[in-house]
Chains A and B, each alone.
Chain A
Amino acid sequence: MGITFRKETFRDDFTFRNSPEHIRRFPFPFHEDSYMYAVNIEPHVVGPKGSVLENLIDVDEHYVAEMQDRALVLAEDPLRCQSLPHMTLAGWDLLELLMEQQALGYPEHFTLIRDGDRWRWINRPLGIDDSFTFGDVSTLPYGPMEYITRQSQGDFCILDQRDGNLWMDAGMVTTQADWSLDFDIGMNFFEWHAPVPLAHEKGIFVRALKFLTNIQQGKPARRLNWTMTINPRLDTSPENYHKWGPDRATVTPENVGEKVHLRVELQSFWRLPRSNAIVFPIRCYLIKMDELVTQPKWARRLHRVIRDLPDELANYKGLTRYRPTLVEWLSKLDDGSPTSPGFGPD
C-alpha cells in the first residue's frame, strides 16, 4: 500500500490539489459557527484512523512536493533555517523524534536502524539512504535540525527554556503565515508574539506560556490555528510579501473557489529529552474553497465565521481586501440551517 505522492507545485502554475480522501481528512478548525482566540491546547494523542491525527507526525500525499518546495525556498534564502550556537543538541533531539515517528507511522516509506550511535536512515520517497554517527555533526551533510527538517512536512521552531520563558533559538521556517524567523530568532515567547492583536489583553500568552513550560517528555500537546491564503502558496513569508501580496488583489466572484484557500496550522509541542527544549512543529494544511464546500456543513460554518470575524482579526490575517467577495460567494452555500457540533463533516 503506502501513500501515492502527488506531483504538484505551490508556486508559479500552482498545481496543488487535495484528493477526495484528503478533503475528508482536512483538519477543519472551527467547532462552532464563530471564532475568537482561546488557549485551545489539548493533549496530542493519536486520533481516528484516516484522520490527520492517525499518526502524531503526519505524512500525507503532498510530502514529496512540499519537500521540493522547501529546497527551492532554502536555495533562494538560506536565512529561513537558523540555529543559535547553543541549540545543536536540541537539533539532534529533533532528528531522533522525527526519524522515530516517521518510521513508526510509515514503515513502508521510512526505516531507522540503530546500532549504538551508528544510525542508518532510509527515506524512500526522497531516495535517501544515509549512515551517520548520532551526535557527530561532521557525519551529516547539514546540521541535524536542517537535515531532518528538509525531510519533514511543516515548519519547526525549537524553543530553549530558561528564566521561566521560552526563547525562539532555532528553526526551519519556509511555509509560514507571514512571520520572519530571521527577525524573531532569539526573542522570548511574549516578544515574538508581540504583533498579535487582542490576545495579549486576554491573557492568552501568559496562560499558554505557563502550559508550555510545563510540558513533559512523552506527553506532547497540540492546537489548531488558521488563516487564509490566495493560491496554494506555502511560502507566504514576510520576506516575499512584495511578491505574493498582489495575489490578494486578484480575487473575483468568478475565481474565489479556485484561488482562496483555508490554511490551517496543526501546531504541536514536544519536550525534547536531552536539551530540555520544546520543539514546536507548525504543520500547514491547505484547501481551496471549491474543495472545502464539497462538505456542506463546512461551507455553512465558514460563511458564518468569516462574515462575523472582528475587523482587527480579519486585518491581522490579511483578509480585508477580499473578505466581501469571499463572504458573498460563501453566502450562496449557506441556507441558514443549523450546523452539527464538532469539527468533522456530516
Chain B
Amino acid sequence: MAAKSIISRPVYGTLSPQPGKHHLFVADAEGALAIADLAAKAPTDFFGGAHIIFIPGRDGKYAEALEALKPAQLYLGHSFASALPRLKQTLANAHMGLRLYLAGTEGLIGQAMQAALEAGIDHTSIQTEHSGSLARRMQCVHCKGITENVTTQPATCSHCGLLLLVRDHYSRRLAAFQGVCINAEDRSEIPPIEEVFR
C-alpha cells in the first residue's frame, strides 16, 4: 500500500459489496484479487448483475478466477485504452443505482474514475482498492504531456525531456500526479534517480 501523504493524494479502501442491482467492475492485474475477495462476502446472486472490465496485463493471470464468478458480462482488454470506449458507453447507458468498483494500479483506478466523473458520477460513491504496482501516471506541468507508469523519482518527461520531481499532488480530473522540473534553478544539478514507485 502507498504511504499516507498530502490531502490531494487519493486514499484507497477495500472493495465491499454495495446494495444495488447493477455492478460495474474495472480492474487490472492483481486488482482481480480484490474482486475475488469481495465475492467471498457477496450475496449469492450478486454477480448475476455484474459487468467486469478486466485488463490482465502481460502475464495474463487471474482471468479464470473472474470467469468462475459467472458475471453477466466479462470483458478482457488488452490495455486500458482499448477498454475505454466500452467503459464510456457502459457509463453513458447506466441507470441510477449502478455501483462502480475500481481495483488495481493507481493509473487504472485514476483513469477509470476520470471516465466516471465525466459521466457525472460522484467520486465519493466509487469503491476503490489499490493493488499491484505503485507506478504513477504523471502530468508534466510544463508541456502538459502525460507519462505513464513512472517508477522513478525524479522521472524524465517522455514528451519534453525535462527531469521532473513527481509530487504527491494529484488531480482526479487529469488522473495524474504533478511533475515539476526538479533542477529548474540550476540545470547542472542532477539528483540521483531512484526507483521508488514499484
Residues of A at the B interface (CB closer than 8 Å) are 79, 180, 182-187, 190-195, 200, 238-242, 245-246, 248-249, 321
Give the tally of cross-chain contacts (CB within 8 A).
65
15 pairs from A and B in contact (CB 8 Å cutoff): A183-B141, A183-B171, A185-B173, A187-B8, A190-B8, A191-B7, A191-B8, A194-B168, A194-B169, A195-B169, A238-B180, A241-B141, A241-B184, A246-B184, A246-B186
A186–B8 touching, CB < 8 Å: no
Query: In the complex the two chains form, what is the Cα distance from A210 to B144 in whole Å?
Result: 34
In the complex, how many angstroms separate the beta carbon of A243 from the nearest chain B beta carbon? 8
Query: In the complex the two chains form, what is the Cα distance from A249 to B187 in whole Å?
Result: 11
Residue of B8, B144, B181, B186 ringed by the most chain A CB atoms within 10 A: B8
Q: Which residues of B contact A194 (CB under 8 A)?
A: 6-9, 168-169
Residue of B nearest to A248 (CB): B185
A195–B173 touching, CB < 8 Å: no
Residue of B nearest to A84 (CB): B173
Name the interface residues of B150-198: CB closer than 8 Å to any CB of A. 162, 167-169, 171-174, 178, 180-181, 184-187
Residues of B at the A interface (CB closer than 8 Å) are 6-9, 139, 141-142, 144, 162, 167-169, 171-174, 178, 180-181, 184-187
Q: Which residues of A contact B8 (CB under 8 A)?
A: 187, 190-192, 194-195
Assuming A182-B144, A241-B180, A248-B185, what are 6 further A-B pairs, CB within 8 angstroms? Answer: A184-B171, A194-B8, A195-B168, A242-B142, A245-B181, A245-B184
In the complex, how many angstroms separate the beta carbon of A73 from the nearest chain B beta carbon? 14
Q: Which residues of A contact B187 (CB under 8 A)?
A: 246
Residue of A nearest to B172 (CB): A186
A239–B7 touching, CB < 8 Å: no
Q: A245-B181, A321-B185 known; A239 and B167 CB under 8 Å?
A: no
Query: In the complex the two chains form, what is the Cα distance from A183 to B171 in whole Å?
Result: 6
Query: In the complex the two chains form, what is the Cα distance from A110 to B184 in whole Å?
Result: 41
